[in-house]
Amino acid sequence: MDKIKMTTPLVEMDGDEMTRILWQMIKDELILPFVDLKTEYYDLGLEYRNATDDQVTIDSANATLKYGVAVKCATITPNAARMTEYDLKEMWKSPNGTIRAILDGTVFRAPILVKGIVPYVKNWTKPITIARHAYGDVYKNTEIKVPGAGKAELVYTAEDGTEIRELIHDFKGAGIIQGIHNTDKSIESFARACFSYAIDTKQDLWFATKDTISKKYDHNFKDIFQEIYDAEYKTKFEELGIEYFYTLIDDAVARVIRSEGGFIWACKNYDGDVMSDMVATAYGDLSMMTSVLVSPSGVYEYEAAHGTVQRHYYKHLKGEETSTNSIATIFAWTGALKKRGELDNIPELSAFAETLERACIKTVEDGKMTKSLSLISTCENPVILNSLDFIKAIRTTLEELL
Ligand code: NAP
Ligand code: MG
């Protein structure tokens, strides 16, 4: 079989620990034998980030803006323990945060469904994709612990010195205050990323806030979404037969539980934090969640939702066998290859990526899986494979399907 040719390179962002080990295995077993892979390689492993004063992360994000599609391995976000472990010059920021800030993107997370891993919510037969607004609100807050009686006010001073002043509360005793904000620019980017992704994946888009209670703050989110929808996306949605649906957050939660899935749920920052953990858990397993960062200008960065699986890596370093699930990382590659195929008009590349996805699903449905999957699968006698043998089993299925 001739290898599939590519025209534009993928931006390849390598990472850390166990996922870095899987990364190489995936390339060697599942990609390189079939695709004449073109990538522009960036090593986001913590050692090289430290050596380059994190410049490599910035360069990789800029390359993504240039080429349009990236595939990223999980990376360590340094904490105090990592400072000593890797002898770091600085506690470098989260690469995902840095990349997201440069691409101005929104993260969409969706579960990979396989027969035998049954969602806790029995009517969820299709994936629910969560889009979380990743800027502001309570994540950029200012708080005061009020010591005792006194007046709290909200004050905005314009550049020309004029003020808007609102009473928050006339405290009779101790209490608490929180100041939060968002910007129209950020909400607009979020809205555009959501509408574009809905069109891209041909799914309905749901959005919810608490605008009945928060008549200015949350209402602003609702209005911006509606204005952008009407002006820029309505026609395209109608052509595709998909829907933009706005409701109150509590109503959305009830409807999501009753639904069969198959839509994108756009959430404000806090709602997205809470609901993405709930949805991921209800579908089964973090190791079966995909993640894609989409910028309003249509740039895509694909990755797995899970981290570097540190505990497995330490076992691997001790020479012990690991059974780490590579499916979400494989889906990061297939997502990126599919998108590259679509943008460069190479249908065989997209078709290959789709076949590889089916090979992953079929392998698990045929009863071959990693340990964590066997624990949540209804499969009667699963064959539990180690990290490499699982990838090799997927390769065997892939070769059968090709
Ligand atoms: P984690 O890597 O997601 O792993 C947490 C636990 O979940 C693992 O110990 C393992 O459970 C299970 N797990 C996750 N992925 C799995 C897989 N593919 N196969 C099998 N089991 C899997 O989270 P963490 O250990 O909290 O974080 C490790 C590092 O990852 C941290 O340095 C963090 O900064 C980084 N991180 C990066 C990203 C990213 O780059 N997107 C996201 C999150 C975290 P058992 O040990 O019970 O088997
Ligand atoms: Mg969270």
pLDDT in tens, 133-165: 988 888 888 999 999 999 999 999 999 999 999
Q: How far is the CA of 281 from the centre of ligand 1 (A)?
A: 14
Q: What is the mean pLDDT of the chain?
A: 95
- Minimal CA–CA distance to 25: which of 388, 397, 396? 388
User: What is the predicted pLDDT for the residue at 14?
Assistant: 98
Using DSSP, state whether 106 is helix, strand or coil. strand
Q: Which ligand is nearest to the CA of 85?
A: 1
**The pLDDT value given to residue 174:** 98
pLDDT of residue 30: 98
What is the spatial distance between Cα 265 and Cα 131, in angstroms, rounded to a whole number? 6
Summarize pLDDT for 312-332 with one digit per residue, the tens. 999 999 999 999 999 999 999
Q: What is the pTM for the complete model shown?
A: 0.91
Whether pLDDT at 298 is above 90: no
Q: Which helix (H) or strand (E) holds 66?
A: helix 55-67
Please report which confidence band the pLDDT of residue 195 belongs to, taking 50, 70 and 90 as the band edges: very high
Mean local confidence (pLDDT), 348-371: 97
User: Does the structure show a pLDDT above 80 at 356?
Assistant: yes
Confidence tier at 75 by pLDDT (50, 70, 90): very high
Split at pLDDT 50, 70, 90, the class of 104 is confident
pLDDT band, residue 105 (cuts 50/70/90): confident
CA of 277 to the centre of ligand 2 (A): 6
| Best residue for ligand 1 mutational test, from 73, 88, 306, 312 (most atoms within 8 Å of Cβ) | 306
Task: Give yes or no for a contact between 282 and 125, defined as CB atoms under 8 angstroms apart.
Answer: no
Cα angle 246, 282, 371 (rounded to 5 degrees) comes to 145
Distance CA 85, CA 83 (A): 6
Q: What is the DSSP letter of 213?
A: T
Q: Tell me the pLDDT tens digit for each residue of 55-74.
A: 999 999 999 999 999 999 99
* Rounded distance from Cα 163 to ligand 1 centre (Å): 48
Comparing CA positions, the residue from 242, 255, 247 lying closest to residue 203 is: 242
Handedness of CA 223, 225, 226, 228 (dihedral sign): positive
> Ligand 1 test: best mutation among 22, 73, 309, 311, most atoms within 8 Å of CB?
309
Return residues with CB closer than 5 A to ligand 2 (ion).
Answer: 273
Q: Which two tokens stand for residue 244?
A: 């933009």
Greater pLDDT, 283 or 25: 25
**How far is residue 397's CA from residue 402's CA, in Å, rounded to a whole number?**
9
Between the CA of 308 and the centroid of ligand 1 the distance, in Å, is 5
- Beta strand pairing status for 106-111 and 289-294? antiparallel
With a cut of 80, say whether residue 1 has pLDDT above it. no
**pLDDT at residue number 328:** 96
Mutate to test the pocket of ligand 1, among 44, 308, 364, 373 (most ligand atoms within 8 A of CB): 308
Mean pLDDT of 79-86: 95
Q: How far apart are the CA of 187 and the centre of ligand 2, in A?
A: 20
Residue 313 makes CB contacts below 8 A (sequence gap 6+) with 17, 18, 21, 322
